[in-house]
Structure 1
Amino acid sequence: MESEEFRLPRSRLANERLHAMVPGGAHTYAKGDDQYPEDLAPVISHGHGAHVWDVDGNRYVEYGSGLRSVSLGHAHPRVLEAVRRELERGSNFVRPSIVEVEAAERFLATVPTAEMVKFAKNGSDATTAAVRLARAVTGRPRVAVCGDQPFFSVDDWFIATTPMSAGVPAATTGLTVSFPHGDLAATEELLDRYRDEVACLVLEPVGPDEPCAGSPPHPGSGNSASRYLTGLRELADRHGCVLVFDEMITGLRWSEAGAQGLYGVVPDLSTFGKALGNGFAVSALAGRRELMERGGLRHRGERVFLLSTTHGAETHSLAAATAVLRTYVEEGITARLHALGARLAAGVRSAASAMGVGDHLLVRGRASNLVFATLDEHLRPSQEYRTLFLRQLLAGGVLAPSFVVSSALSDADIDHTVDVVARACAVYRKALDAQDPGPWLGGRPVKPVFRRSA
């Protein structure tokens, strides 16, 4: 079989070296080699645009670049130009740089629903700062998180809710509760049960089954999402909670102003990252002035230790963010992401249907943020069939833990991807007919990130 002939000897050795020094073999669990077929986890040498090369010399069309962070493509010229300019001027000083002023102004102009912003280096710090601020302004201890969504922070208040909660004190675990996305009645019941105890509602502003759009969104679109978020806004106001939108994924991809800009519902606080830096480390906590000022110097209340990071305002990362924001607005990047994703989704669905696996290989999500699901012969989610599918994609030169597009993709890249998907679906059909994907796995199946044991 083609996938069995595909080998990555140098990547395999590099992975062994990583595991000897780095717990998990990667600095992000979602990049671990357990997420890929056995001995087929490429170690990347470099990337350009929508392509990456591994240390074995193979070139891939890449999706989900940098866990959705590189939405303009690798080594984007406008971003690199801005970064190079600042590198030659120094990256960190004992006082704020004028670049911080410019980046804040550009961010708030792009996300007009926010009144103040503070930058950091990663999403976890920004979202945890939002939680701390909410607890401070409400005087309440509990955090309510959307239980249908996979990740908000590496900090204890969230990790307590996952199967990997080792090391989190039980007292902390009890302070985080969950509510289901889209169910206002259940959320109100939760708020009634913990009346005057819940400081904030934290969620990605879109649900797990966000429909795949075939055209760019526009303000006010997505009536169902708008109604739900409006209802959640009213619930938060009625119960005195802070409403926090985690826009790490939706920021820029849904609209330049994120999902809040698309659906017209204004949160009290929101957090941005990923696409904001096109791979450079930058995140943002944004929100209402009344709340954000509690972390500042121009109020008379008790001070909140909001965000204070040595590298939070590195000039080159903020220059990258400013360039990204300008590029999105001036070049219509969000619309391009939707158009590319719509083309890809249609092609994959057509290929899967033609090979008789249209009910087993599913494409889900908004066009700018596509994922795929692999189902077995009984239409149950299957890590084994995911492994089979990933092996075939890798052998065909497609690196795709998801189908999240970057604007650097060309029509030819997508056509190539669809061709590879079609060949993978032919193998998928054989495995379904045999009711056994085992002969096509090449080793152990891929594993979920959050699990209790290694």
Structure 2
Amino acid sequence: MPSSRKRVEVGVATEDCVETEELQLPRSRMANERLHALIPGGAHTYAKGDDQYPENLAPVISHGRGAHVWDIDGNRYIEYGSGLRSVSLGHAHPRVIEAVRRELDRGSNFVRPSIVEVEAAERFLATVPTADMVKFAKNGSDATTAAVRLARAVTGRPRVAICGDHPFFSVDDWFIGTTPMSAGIPAATTELTVAFPYGDLAATEALLTRYQDEVACLILEPAGHSEPPPGYLAGLRELADRHGCVLIFDEMITGFRWSEAGAQGLYGVVPDLSTFGKALGNGFAVSALAGRREVMEPGGLRHSGDRVFLLSTTHGAETHSLAAAMAVQATYVEEGVTARLHALGERLAAGVRDAAAGMGVGDHIVVRGRASNLVFATLDENLQPSQEYRTLFLRRLLAGGVLAPSFVVSSALSDADIDRTVEVVAQACAVYRKALDAADPTPWLAGRPVKPVFRRLA
């Protein structure tokens, strides 16, 4: 299928708008219309919606291999943030695919547990030795909600304390009710969720004191765009113990990307419960809830207390997904994947920062986060976050063959991929500089700006 990139005039006819290569996606545009006609939002994850991309420039993917994907218009892209961070080894990784194929001919789901389930549990607990038990599911939301339910059950308390600085924990009511997309969620449910700020132990202790003996758990991502302040995670551990609540680490993103054993393995602070997903299956649907035996066991059968309906999913232990997870963990450990992710991220971050600085926009295109989990901010002439400038930047990246809602790397990227990305970023920065000089990016948008995921109105 031939490429649909061609030379067109960008924006309006002013001396600042030069002729440059622009992307045309006629087949993707038609496919997006079909998607919206049949699927609410046009995608199965809001972060994949076409509103997250410049107007008429939301590629619909045909296939992927390694660090590259192809859209149905025939364009190839270097891809970042693959599968919303889930495909950290690259698409169609041979070792993972081989493990999956071995199971497919043996059956995927049975009326009783398969031997693969215990093998997968043993592999996981060897990789994450801070946990005693694990239960698998299909998505992160089920795992985090199960963790919250367990915490409420073992403490007998109703409230959930979430870290308000982290963007997402679950699709379930206890979290989504706290976002601008709270339609359909009773206020009584939302009132049971309170928030604490990341890095502020004093504020967290004040919250726990205010709701003395009411807070079942503290749930947070142990690390985000910045490193945890010295002593912070250990301080949270002490606060949770002193106030009798459960400490939950959401390791959906930090799992494997920070270390094979997650952030808890890197920072040496052990939570009561933790949840893993994303990188665990390299794109196959598998997540995990893990934790201390005395907290996990109420969800089982070998205790004398009230039973907790923990996780009971028909497809939670599909053999091929568990095989994928085992292959992923083996690959990470044996091939040093986490170290490679950091090395690639460091190379990319340095290149992007140099390119931005060289074009005079180093204060406006800002790379943030751990090297294995990079994101970027697009700031306007007043150094404020701007969806308009993000749109401009994404347009130029797409035109150069880079699909990058973030700069989160996969281990399949090559040095040549990184170098090409930096070249495209430099070209984008040149246009960005023109827009800043004009104090108006509108002529370079060619349509509406991209939109935040969490907003009240469609």
Which of the five TM-score ranges fits, normalised by the shorter chain? over 0.9
Separation in structure 2 between the aligned mates of residue 206 and residue 225 of structure 1, nearest angstrom: 10
Separation in structure 1 between the aligned mates of residue 454 and residue 427 of structure 2, nearest angstrom: 31
| Aligned AA (1:274) | K
Match of 2:314 in 1: 310
Match of 1:8 in 2: 25
Secondary structure of the 1:286 match is strand
Match of 1:374 in 2: 378
Q: CA deviation at 1:4?
A: 6.9
1:29 aligns with 2:46: yes
Pick from 171, 174, 191 the counterpart of residue 208 of structure 2: 191
| Aligned AA (1:386) | R
Match of 2:13 in 1: none
Match of 1:331 in 2: 335
Structure 1 residues 23-76: Cα deviation after superposition (integer angstroms, max 9, x where no partner): 000000000000000000000000000000000000000000000000000000
Separation in structure 1 between the aligned mates of residue 338 and residue 102 of structure 2, nearest angstrom: 26
Separation in structure 2 between the aligned mates of residue 246 and residue 422 of structure 1, nearest angstrom: 35
Separation in structure 2 between the aligned mates of residue 3 and residue 390 of structure 1, nearest angstrom: 15
Separation in structure 2 between the aligned mates of residue 75 and residue 229 of structure 1, nearest angstrom: 36
Structure 1 residues 174-193: Cα deviation after superposition (integer angstroms, max 9, x where no partner): 00000000000000000000
Secondary structure of the 2:207 match is helix
Structure 1 residues 315-352: Cα deviation after superposition (integer angstroms, max 9, x where no partner): 00000000000000000000000000000000000000
Verify the 8 A CA contact 2:224 2:369 in the aligned structure 1.
no
Separation in structure 2 between the aligned mates of residue 88 and residue 331 of structure 1, nearest angstrom: 28
Distance change (3 Å), C-alpha of 1:184 and 1:124: same
Separation in structure 1 between the aligned mates of residue 298 and residue 447 of structure 2, nearest angstrom: 54
Q: CA deviation at 1:209?
A: 3.0
Alignment of 1:67-146 (within 5 A): 67-146=84-163
Match of 2:410 in 1: 406
Separation in structure 1 between the aligned mates of residue 248 and residue 400 of structure 2, nearest angstrom: 41
Verify the 8 A CA contact 2:380 2:389 in the aligned structure 1.
yes
Match of 1:423 in 2: 427
Q: CA deviation at 1:119?
A: 0.1
- What's the C-alpha RMSD, in Å, of the aligned pairs? 0.8
Separation in structure 2 between the aligned mates of residue 310 and residue 40 of structure 1, nearest angstrom: 38
Match of 2:301 in 1: 297
| Aligned AA (2:37) | A
Alignment of 1:116-265 (within 5 A): 116-210=133-227, 224-225=228-229, 227-265=231-269
Q: CA deviation at 1:6?
A: 1.6
Pick from 56, 60, 72 the counterpart of residue 77 of structure 2: 60
Secondary structure of the 1:280 match is coil
Separation in structure 2 between the aligned mates of residue 115 and residue 225 of structure 1, nearest angstrom: 28
Verify the 8 A CA contact 2:225 2:370 in the aligned structure 1.
no
Match of 2:389 in 1: 385
Verify the 8 A CA contact 1:108 1:117 in the aligned structure 2.
yes
Q: Give unmatched runs, 5+ long, in structure 1.
A: 211-223
Verify the 8 A CA contact 1:3 1:392 in the aligned structure 2.
no
| Aligned AA (1:289) | R
| Aligned AA (1:258) | G
Verify the 8 A CA contact 1:148 1:208 in the aligned structure 2.
no
Q: CA deviation at 1:145?
A: 0.1
| Aligned AA (1:229) | L
Give the TM-score of the pair, scaled to structure 1: 0.96
Match of 1:217 in 2: none
Match of 1:213 in 2: none
Q: CA deviation at 1:3?
A: 6.2
Match of 2:444 in 1: 440
Q: How many residues align?
A: 441
Separation in structure 1 between the aligned mates of residue 256 and residue 208 of structure 2, nearest angstrom: 31
Q: CA deviation at 1:225?
A: 4.1
Separation in structure 2 between the aligned mates of residue 241 and residue 416 of structure 1, nearest angstrom: 49
Separation in structure 1 between the aligned mates of residue 21 and residue 163 of structure 2, nearest angstrom: 41
Pick from 394, 398, 407 the counterpart of residue 394 of structure 1: 398
Give percent identity, aligned residues only.
87
